[in-house]
Structures are given as structure tokens and as C-alpha cells.
Amino acid sequence: MIPARTRIKICGLTREQDVAAAAEAGADAVGFVLYAKSPRAVTLERAAALARGLPPYVTPVCLLVNATEEAARAVGEALPQAVLQFHGDETPEQCRAAGRPYLRAVRMAEGVDLLDFAARFTDAQGLLLDAFVDGYGGGGKVFDWSLIPPHVPLPVVLSGGLSPANVTDGVLRLRPSAVDVSSGVEAGKGVKDAGLIRRFCEAVREADARINDAGA
């Protein structure tokens, strides 16, 4: 039996020290928001500069919202190791056009058919589940986890209002492939707290350990 290991993504990074804190805490990926209307937005040039400080095996993820194909392709040129995260109203064809590995965000609410998303975006590396609010992004809100069907045929990345206080429960209940946090480890918008990042990662590993112990 392969031991459980939930992947961790720390999103909305804007500072070198926060990138370093995420890597030191054991994050598997870090997210850069390339959406100008976000309070955590960075330019592509800034994202590329921040990504240069990443150690091996920590993946940069670039969040896009209804970006043009040219803009998406530019990300791949500036950050060839990056995964794209489409967080708007992109079609499967638009996600594939960039020719890059990608995650498809799903804004979860009553009536959202997650299995239909999985059937349409079959080549996505995973579905990132966030809360449905006005605009794009979860705004630090937890959605109703019971909306997630029991057998999603793509990896699930749990997002939306996660924090060190609730992520252990989320991993134990839902067994996602990965978890994604932004506001839950912040001292202010776009300014991360190294202690909260560390506690978030520790809480995920605690959940993994409990899962592995239960299966022993």
C-alpha cells in the first residue's frame, strides 16, 4: 500500500521570503496570481523572478482568469516548468490551446456538476475546487464539502477557506490529492505568515499520518 501523501500548494505569493517559507515548510507547489484585479496579483515578470528562487521539485503554478491564448503561451515561455491554473470561464479547448499542463478551477455551489467538469476537462491534471462568490476566487470562504461526489475521475485539489485549523479535517474527510491555501496563511492580502504556512503544512502531514496509521 502506497502511504498517503497529500500535496500542498501555497497560493497568492508576492514576496521572496514567502516563497522561501513555503518551500522550507514542505510545500509541493506555489501559486502566482496573474490576474490584475486580484489584490495578490503579480506581473508575469515578477512571477518569473520569484520562481527563480524555488528549489527543485517545488512547482510554480500560474493562475489565469479568462486570459488570451497568447498570454497563456507567454507564461510557458517565461516559466517553462509552470503549471497553468485556469480560474475563469475557459472552455476545454482554451485550456488545451496553451499546450501546458493545467488545473481547472471549479466554483462550487448547488447545481454545479463536478462529474460533467471531469468529463469535459479529461486532460486536466486535476480539478481545483473553490467557493462560488462574486468575481473569481473564493475570497477565503469554505464551500459545502458535501457537494463533492464520492468518486471524481480526476485528482481533486481542495481549496476555499482552508487554514491550519480546518485542513486536517478536510484531508481526513475528503482524501483530496492536494490542498490549496492562500488567505488562510496570510498576515495581510498577499503577505504570508511563515508561522501559519508551517502550521498548515504540519496539519496536512498530521492528517496523512492518521490515514496511514489507520491503514496499517
Is 11 designated active site? yes
- CA dist 65 and 72 (Å) reads 10
With H, G, I as helix, E, B as strand and everything else as coil, classify residue 88: coil
Q: Which amino acid is at 186?
A: E
- CA dist 74 and 104 (Å) reads 18
Q: Which residue in 130, 180, 201, 208 is the catalytic one?
A: 130
Q: Which amino acid is at 178?
A: A
- CA dist 88 and 69 (Å) reads 13
Is 130 designated active site? yes
Q: Which amino acid is at 58?
A: V
Residues marked active site are found at 11, 130
